[in-house]
């Protein structure tokens, strides 16, 4: 009777009837929250609750934790479970509870089941999240196709720069020319050879920044780089320039396992070669011109031109084959009319230049944003 009273005392605290344990079976009476709980291999499960077999109480003084974003419940039992299956699970949307039981269950199935749609009990979550990134022979990762993730990827991290000289980027396939960017990298074109499903996309990735982390003997090491080139290696994921490669690899250059995600370049040191500008390609004239954004906040999503004194409106198209350039309409090049050139990025606020159309026809003009705000 004392044990039964204790059980109902716990139920009263949580506002729900929890368990009836009659020595042979335990029944969860919260049928409104668990439609059809099952007791298999010592675990309680439903659409809203799952328990790993690591939560089964087979010995005295076992401790089981259940957690969600707002719940930490501890059940400590000094009971002896002699049956084949004896499990415990606890959850609530807003309660931290501690329950202690000295009851004895001798039946085949005896379980305490508290229910919430937000709770998953697992004995392995800490192990899954606890990867410290340490490895041996870290520079000899086996080459494999990169994998795409929601905002980046994972696979090989290599280098094409000198880890001792740490040269600045020469612009690569993004056609930036000589730069002062020290933290730069190339990104993969393909997922499988020749499929063009990587993030490069004809130069659309140019100017974007990537936060890379790689496994090393000392654990995960991280660095943020600007994309200035595309990978020539079929198994490449991210190919680092010299300075960022040195930060991760030291002097042990090789192929490392890494993971990466695209981030904004704003506030990141080492990825800026100069101020943000519109650069006009050599050979431009009033009959033809293409432009690119140098030192952008992030990869360029769109470039739009609006007339200041007219209703002119142009959405520029990215040039196919000449990567990281956008075509300027001839109508704009032939006039001194004023225009707003709006550059939209993958993330962050737009940048806006106010210029004459004819300025976009000047070969190799470098139109700094700070000089063309008004």
For 88, residues 6+ apart whose C-beta sits below 8 A from its C-beta are 55, 57, 64, 75, 77, 111, 112
Q: Is the pLDDT of residue 114 over 90?
A: no
DSSP 332-352: HHT---EEEEEEEESSS--EE
Q: What is the pLDDT of residues 289-301, one digit of tens each?
A: 999 999 999 999 9
Tell me yes or no: is domain 277-371 CATH 2.60.40.760.
yes
Do 296 and 346 touch, CB atoms closer than 8 A? no
**What's residue 233's pLDDT?**
76
Which three-class secondary structure state does DSSP give residue 268? coil
For 31, residues 6+ apart whose C-beta sits below 8 A from its C-beta are none
Query: How is the chain split into domains, by residue range?
Result: 2-128, 147-263, 277-371
**What's residue 127's pLDDT?**
34
Q: Is the pLDDT of residue 135 over 50?
A: yes
Question: What are the φ and ψ backbone dihedral angles of 43, each rounded to 5 degrees?
Answer: -120, 150
Q: Which fold would CATH assign to domain 147-263?
A: Barwin-like endoglucanases (2.40.40)
Q: Is the pLDDT of residue 64 over 60?
A: no
Q: How confident is the model at residue 130 (pLDDT cuts 50, 70, 90)?
A: low
On average, the pLDDT of the chain sits at 76
The burial class, CB within 10 Å (0-12 / 13-18 / 19+), for 92 is: buried
């Amino acid at each position: 009777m004392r044990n039964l009273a204790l059980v109902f005392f716990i139920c009263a605290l949580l506002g729900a009837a929890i368990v009836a344990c009659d020595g042979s079976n335990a029944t969860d009476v919260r049928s409104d929250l668990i439609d059809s709980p099952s007791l298999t291999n010592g675990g309680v499960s439903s659409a809203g609750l799952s328990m790993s077999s690591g939560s089964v109480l087979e010995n005295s003084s076992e401790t089981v934790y259940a957690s969600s974003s707002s719940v930490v419940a501890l059940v400590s039992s000094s009971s002896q479970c002699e049956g084949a299956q004896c499990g415990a699970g606890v959850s609530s949307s807003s309660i931290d509870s501690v329950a202690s039981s000295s009851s004895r269950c001798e039946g085949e199935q005896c379980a305490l089941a508290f229910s919430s749609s937000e709770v998953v009990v697992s004995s392995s979550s800490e192990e899954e999240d606890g990867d410290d990134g340490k490895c041996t022979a870290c520079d000899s990762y086996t080459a494999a196709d990169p994998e795409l993730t929601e905002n980046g990827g994972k696979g090989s991290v290599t280098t094409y720069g000198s880890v001792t000289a740490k040269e600045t980027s020469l612009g690569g396939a993004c056609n930036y020319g000589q730069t002062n960017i020290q933290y730069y990298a190339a990104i993969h074109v393909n997922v499988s050879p020749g499929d063009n499903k990587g993030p490069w996309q004809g130069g659309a990735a140019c100017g974007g920044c990537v936060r890379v982390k790689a496994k090393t003997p000392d654990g995960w090491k991280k660095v943020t780089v600007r994309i200035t080139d595309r990978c020539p290696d079929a198994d490449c994921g991210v190919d680092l320039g010299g300075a960022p490669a040195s930060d991760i690899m030291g002097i042990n250059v090789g192929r490392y396992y890494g993971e990466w995600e695209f981030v904004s370049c704003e506030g990141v040191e080492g990825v800026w070669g100069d101020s943000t500008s519109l650069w006009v390609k050599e050979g431009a004239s009033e009959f033809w011109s293409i432009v690119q954004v140098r030192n952008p906040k992030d990869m360029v999503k769109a470039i739009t031109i609006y007339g200041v004194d007219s209703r002119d409106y142009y959405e520029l198209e990215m040039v196919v084959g000449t990567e990281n350039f956008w075509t300027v309409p001839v109508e704009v090049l032939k006039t001194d009319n004023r225009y707003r050139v709006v550059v939209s990025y993958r993330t962050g606020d737009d940048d806006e230049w106010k210029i004459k159309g004819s300025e976009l026809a000047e070969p190799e003009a470098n139109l700094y944003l700070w000089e063309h705000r008004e």
